[in-house]
């Protein structure tokens, strides 16, 4: 898709480059970019659990084996889902489908608990509920199509609602005394505000990608 935007599809150069990059089409086939969502949620669960011991220590690598196993489990799960025509993403036509939302929320909770671990499960679920507004705020902008040329009412609603969710998660971060939740929420907040009031497709891309890197950082 990116090549087609830069080079005319009917040109010989496009055909040559397409053949060279053919193995990379697996990224699009399995929606590998969307895998960052469960990976990020799992990482956030690990960071939150470590923060329970020492709020200033989040890059703690003693549990690297647990993290590696969790990532492998998620990769296998995402491949199985895709092979069975199930995607972590869904379009705005299914936005009001309750079953779609319930299945994602359960999946996100499983991702979180893979990072959190099996100890203090109840506390882990409580912490997940605190992170849930931020998770939804990150997830909602994916409903906005990159190809939209105009600032639609739907895009405005997604942008403003996501912004409110980030403010709410920042409040939860303050209540839970979780500096990662509070700080990352308020840093992500401007991206969704800009999504709501601007028209350029690059702001949609930024709302998709930057929040994931912010929370992982």
How do the domains of the chain map onto residue ranges? 32-53+63-216
pLDDT higher than threshold 80 for residue 125: yes
| SS3 readout for the chain | CHHHHHCCCCCHHHHHHHHHCHHHHHHHHCCHHHHHHHHHHHHHHHHHHHHHHCCCCCCCCCCHHHHHHHHHHHHHHHHHHHHCCCCCCCCHHHCCCHHHHHHHHHHHHHHHHHHHCCCCHHHHHHHHHHHHHHHHHHHHHHHCCCCCCCCCHHHHHHHHHHHHHHHHHHHHHHHCCCHHHHHHHHHHHHHHHHHHHCCCHHHHHHHHHHHHHHHHC
Of 80-94, 124-138, 203-217, which gets the smallest average pLDDT?
A: 80-94
Report pTM.
Answer: 0.70
Lowest mean pLDDT among 65-79, 90-104, 192-206: 90-104
Give the residue-averaged pLDDT of 33-38.
74
Range ranked top by mean pLDDT from 56-60, 61-65, 169-173, 208-212: 169-173
């Amino acid at each position: 898709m990116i090549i087609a935007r830069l080079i005319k599809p009917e040109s010989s150069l496009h055909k040559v480059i397409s053949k060279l990059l053919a193995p990379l089409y697996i990224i699009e086939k399995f929606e590998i970019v969307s895998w960052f969502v469960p990976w990020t949620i799992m990482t956030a669960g690990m960071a939150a659990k470590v923060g329970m011991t020492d709020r200033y220590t989040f890059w703690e690598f003693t549990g690297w084996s647990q993290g590696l196993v969790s990532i492998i489990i998620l990769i296998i799960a995402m491949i199985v889902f895709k092979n069975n025509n199930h995607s972590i993403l869904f379009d705005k036509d299914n936005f009001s489908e309750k079953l779609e939302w319930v299945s994602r929320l359960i999946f996100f909770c499983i991702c979180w608990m893979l990072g959190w671990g099996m100890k203090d499960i109840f506390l882990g679920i409580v912490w997940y509920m605190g992170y849930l507004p931020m998770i939804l705020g990150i997830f909602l902008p994916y409903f906005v199509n990159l190809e939209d040329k105009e600032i639609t009412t739907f895009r405005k609603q997604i942008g403003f609602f996501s912004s409110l969710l980030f403010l709410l998660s920042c409040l939860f971060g303050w209540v839970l005394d979780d500096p990662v939740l509070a700080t990352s929420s308020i840093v992500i907040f401007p991206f969704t505000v800009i999504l709501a009031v601007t028209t350029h497709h690059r702001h949609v891309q930024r709302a998709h990608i930057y929040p994931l890197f912010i929370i992982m950082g």
